[in-house]
A and B are shown apart, each in its own frame.
Chain A
């Protein structure tokens, strides 16, 4: 066992009324790690978080926290705090009382509570808000109170259930950076749930991609983006061109009627595979110089780049580029070996 482990989920299985919600979830979280559970709604990410928090019991499996199975430990005895999706601030208490709640339960001396709460409010930029009522706060401020209320207890692990979901885009980006900085400063393990792939890529040390109650891939943001394990991950994390191909031998793949060099190995000879190429990795060249030849069929301005659909004989390619080619232009496309990602072919149902 790794010495830095703080939480270890072993074969966590959960069903509600005969419906499988989680199918044998296995992953571990290191100390001080920022881990994100990423997936579409209904993928089981929130259920996983609630099991760690103690609000749900798995049907079977083990949840190891610092070496001990804590499945039977009620939430109020776990050294884990949660920032809830809709903040769940107590409406009958003011900001100070909300943040002080956990400390008062622990019966800390009054002065100490006051110090800690004031310091924590300072950290989340809510100095002077002590006596404000919850309903008088904006969404972003409520969010900070929720974070302060959890962090003031100095938990070993902080769980965050889509905490930025209710905020507008600008505030969200700000809070993403702020959260990441906070996590580095306080040195607490964060487990973060989101369906927003960009958020996950920005903040996480490790991403666990989930779908239909199963883990699809675990890895660093760079790994997950560049080396998606399957078509689901490739599609969910950013946009991709996914095309069937044949792996002739190590480092040689055929797709779109052409043979390409690539950097992947370890497949069977002539194994059927799926090839992922990100739209920004396709380079536009003159038609005669392209490995792939096609005709531009549509073009959309996206701000930083143009998105073009390029129709070739075998496939319709999505291309992101700062160069604009008008509709009906014949163009060529190239891609460097590094940007060709090979995945095992999965029969999707």
Chain B
């Protein structure tokens, strides 16, 4: 094993170059001010963070967290029963169902979101049908609900798959044992299945919450050009305004929120594992 250690060097090099270094740069940028084109003009400052506490930006953050939480909860409510249904089928049906879930993920993320635009748009497929039926067209796109729909659609598999993989490994005899001891279906779920599937729920939660909080594509395409989430705000700072310092600061804040979210969920998980649900 020792001799093969060098095999990991390219990977470590890659990680340092494209993950560690950029993270350090983002960190440095967030705590400095000055023009990036002028060498040596960097000054330590917490101005970027102070700037973020403007109600204008806080509102964007609030909206982002709110939408990310909502979409995560909707994904959980839709995904958990789905994962349960799939895990109870026989192996043939199971594989087909999992395939159906995974196939859309083989397609480009942007394309899938564009597809929703053509469905929901003013002259889109849905409104075309509505007009054909003689009703007035509705506004489906460019609002919170469209963005929410886009998030749920895109991130649902990330909720279903981890829960599914925990459920499929669950020992069926535990469920039988609980039934044997007098627990009906509801109690079996509440006291055995759900507590034991929490690790899957937690990883599903983080896997949906993180990309939902940082997305800027879904909000751009389905929310419209003026729609502003924290991801769009960061994008704007880097690509249009050119204020890398402020953009980095917002990124750090967003990362902090994601880390807090993960810490809360993992703590929640551990407590339940240790003590049961009673």
Contacts from A to B (Cβ < 8 Å): 53-55, 74-77, 80-82, 84-86, 88-94, 97, 101-102, 104-106, 149-150, 153
Contacts and interface: CB of A to CB of B under 8 A. Distances in A.
A88 B182 contact: no
Interface stretch (B145-153, B236-244, B270-278): B270-278
Given A54-B180, A150-B181, 20 more contacts: A53-B176, A53-B180, A74-B184, A75-B176, A76-B182, A85-B173, A86-B171, A88-B173, A88-B174, A90-B177, A91-B174, A92-B195, A92-B196, A92-B273, A94-B276, A102-B182, A105-B183, A106-B182, A150-B180, A153-B182
Nearest to B195: A92
A298 to B, nearest CB: 45
With a 10 A CB-CB cut-off, give which of A86, A102, A149 has the most chain B CB atoms: A102
Given A92-B272, A92-B273, A74 B183 contact: no
Contacts of B192: 90
B35 interface: no
The binding surface of chain B is classed by DSSP as helix
Interface size class of B (residues with CB under 8 A): 20 to 34
B182 A105 contact: yes
With a 10 A CB-CB cut-off, give which of A74, A97, A105 has the most chain B CB atoms: A105
A101 B176 contact: no
B173 A84 contact: yes
Contacts of B191: 101
Given A92-B196, A104-B278, A76 B176 contact: no
B89 interface: no
Interchain residue pairs A-B with the least CB separation, the first 9:
A102-B181, A88-B173, A88-B177, A105-B182, A75-B179, A93-B276, A82-B180, A76-B179, A76-B182
Contacts, number: 71
A91 B177 contact: no
A22 B41 CA distance: 86
Contact of B179 (A74, A89, A93, A97): A74
Contacts of A101: 178, 181, 183, 191
Contacts of B196: 91-92
Contacts of A74: 179, 184
Contacts of B181: 76, 81, 101-102, 105, 149-150, 153
A86 B173 contact: yes
27 contacts: A53-B180, A74-B179, A75-B176, A75-B180, A76-B179, A76-B182, A77-B182, A81-B180, A81-B181, A82-B176, A85-B173, A86-B171, A88-B171, A88-B174, A88-B176, A90-B174, A92-B276, A97-B276, A101-B178, A101-B181, A101-B191, A104-B278, A105-B182, A105-B183, A106-B182, A149-B177, A150-B180
